């Protein structure tokens, strides 16, 4: 039996001209662009009102951890596989991985990163990014699996863009950075129209860490006048890698009845590990059964059953999660975080071997391939016929 290895969480560096070459000319002075900052090149947003430093921590592949840092001088210093599809495919071959699910880096926090003030500018920037992602993945859509984003200006705008990107080549899923209504809290009446459209489109959605978060790149958010790392601490970085931002979202999806009302909805979360999921399922089942009557919460199944049916999560280093995989075997996906600081490139296969040693072959296949295919509604025929295909003899037992 052979199968593909799908990396469920990798990133791109958005090219310096992705918005300047694609948004209407009358909006370009406020669209994202590269400028010089105190510590090197920075991304400038909303006409320079905000900047985000170009981040070395998001581009560490092949670099010793003793050389890591937050800032780098220029985009030209960064690995080509973070920008160019041909270079990315070459790095995937070196890493012996078949396909990459592609997240952004400097707009990881979503459409609100472009602007919170101007609807036309935000929609134009969203569409420019999605068009570029489609072009990038079109080089090899069987191996480059793109995620599109949607505007957060209204549910109607989010629906319109979801319908548009579903037709774009190479787009396999939608990155959610807030609830469909555009806020940090669900509005069940407003949001349900978006969820229904997503069901009808049969496209998976995914969340990176949590809502309104930017990962490593988010730690370099600065004002125009000052680049500072005074708030960048290891405790802060550590918190962002835990599931503290995911648990509230999963709780709303399950206990708020969203998954019950939309049984074909599939939502994943990246870069928060999976070892917490059995604990979450146990505690959520217990809380539901204790408090369902006075809160007038009436689900047809236990909360854990909705999670098993419709929710997914990626892991990089998670020995505890793999040991407890029996509780979530159909929901967990391996990932590398390439080219960010979680990546073990070019030795991802060593990471896989260490984690899946002793795991039966059919379970390996779910973790490395089948679960990602279920989340993103991918058929085997959709994936590459070139690139690494794993023989079960290649994974340590």
Predicted local confidence at residue 282, as pLDDT? 98
CATH number at residue 366: 3.20.20.140
Provide the pairing of β-strand 33-37 with 6-11.
unpaired
- Give a yes or no: residue 14 inside a domain: no
- Give a yes or no: residue 273 inside a domain: yes
| Average pLDDT over every residue of 96-118 | 94
Residue 372 has pLDDT above 60, yes or no: yes
- pLDDT tens-place string over residues 114-148: 998 899 999 999 999 999 999 999 999 999 999 99
Tell me the C-alpha to C-alpha distance, in Å, between residue 64 and each of 57, 60, 230, 344, 386: 11, 8, 24, 11, 31
Which run of H or of E encompasses 57? none
Residue 4 has pLDDT above 50, yes or no: yes
For residues 107, 111, 114, 116, the Cα torsion angle rounded to the nearest 10 degrees is -140
Residue 228 has pLDDT above 60, yes or no: no
The total of structural domains in the chain comes to 1
- Give a yes or no: residue 366 inside a domain: yes
- pLDDT tens-place string over residues 282-309: 999 999 999 999 999 999 999 999 999 9
Q: Tokens 């590269």 map to which residue? A: 34
- Is 345 in contact with 62 (CB distance < 8 Å)? yes
- Give a yes or no: residue 70 inside a domain: no
pTM: 0.92
- Give a yes or no: residue 279 inside a domain: yes
- Give a yes or no: residue 164 inside a domain: yes
pLDDT mean across residues, the chain: 90
Predicted local confidence at residue 224, as pLDDT? 41
- Is 137 in contact with 92 (CB distance < 8 Å)? no
In terms of pLDDT, which residue wins out, 77 or 336?
336
Predicted local confidence at residue 389, as pLDDT? 57
Predicted local confidence at residue 213, as pLDDT? 64
- pLDDT tens-place string over residues 30-81: 999 999 888 788 899 998 888 888 888 888 888 888 888 777 777 777 889 9
Q: How confident is the model at residue 331 (pLDDT cuts 50, 70, 90)?
A: very high
Q: pLDDT exceeding 90 applies to what percent of the chain?
A: 74
Question: Minimal CA–CA distance to 102: which of 67, 73, 134?
Answer: 134
Domain enclosing residue 255, as ranges: 2-9+85-394
Peptide bond into 379 cis (omega under 30): no
Residue 392 has pLDDT above 50, yes or no: no
- Give a yes or no: residue 54 inside a domain: no
- Give a yes or no: residue 128 inside a domain: yes
Q: CB-based contacts of 170: which residues, under 8 Å, 6+ apart?
A: 133, 134, 135, 136, 137, 138, 141, 144, 145, 146
- pLDDT tens-place string over residues 241-270: 788 899 999 999 999 999 999 999 999 999
């Amino acid at each position: 039996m052979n199968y593909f290895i799908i990396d469920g969480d990798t990133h791109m560096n958005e090219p310096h001209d992705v918005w300047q070459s694609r948004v209407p000319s009358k909006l370009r002075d406020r669209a994202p662009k590269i400028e010089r900052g105190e510590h090197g090149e920075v991304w400038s947003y909303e006409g320079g009102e905000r900047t985000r430093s170009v981040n070395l921590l998001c581009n560490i592949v092949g670099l010793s951890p003793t050389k890591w840092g937050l800032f780098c001088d220029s985009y030209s210093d960064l690995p080509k596989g973070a920008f160019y599809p041909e270079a990315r495919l070459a790095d995937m071959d070196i890493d012996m991985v078949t396909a990459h699910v592609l997240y952004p880096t400097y707009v990881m926090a979503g459409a609100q990163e472009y602007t919170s003030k101007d609807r036309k500018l935000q929609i134009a920037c969203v569409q420019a990014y999605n068009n570029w992602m489609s072009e990038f993945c079109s080089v090899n859509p069987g191996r480059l699996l793109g995620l599109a984003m949607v505007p957060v200006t209204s549910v109607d705008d989010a629906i319109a863009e979801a319908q548009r990107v579903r037709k774009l080549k190479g787009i396999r899923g939608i990155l959610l950075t807030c609830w469909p209504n555009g806020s940090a809290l669900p509005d069940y009446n407003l949001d349900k129209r978006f969820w229904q459209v997503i069901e009808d489109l049969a496209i998976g959605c995914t969340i990176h860490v949590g809502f309104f978060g930017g990962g490593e790149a988010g730690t370099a958010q600065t004002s125009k006048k000052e680049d500072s790392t005074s708030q960048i601490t290891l405790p802060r970085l550590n918190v962002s890698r835990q599931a503290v931002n995911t648990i509230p979202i999963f709780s709303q999806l399950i206990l708020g009845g969203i998954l019950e009302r939309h049984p074909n909805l599939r939502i994943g979360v990246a870069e928060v590990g999976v070892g917490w999921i059995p604990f979450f399922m146990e505690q959520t089942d217990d809380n539901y059964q204790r408090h369902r009557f006075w809160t007038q919460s009436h689900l047809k199944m236990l909360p854990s059953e909705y999670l098993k049916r419709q929710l997914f999560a990626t892991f990089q280093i998670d020995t505890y999660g793999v040991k407890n995989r029996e509780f979530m075997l159909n929901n967990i996906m391996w990932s590398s975080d390439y080219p960010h600081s979680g990546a073990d490139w070019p030795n991802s296969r060593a990471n896989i071997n260490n984690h899946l040693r002793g795991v039966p072959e059919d379970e390996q296949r779910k973790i490395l391939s089948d679960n990602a295919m279920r989340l993103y509604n991918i058929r085997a025929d959709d994936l590459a016929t070139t690139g690494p295909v794993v023989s079960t003899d290649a994974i340590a037992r």
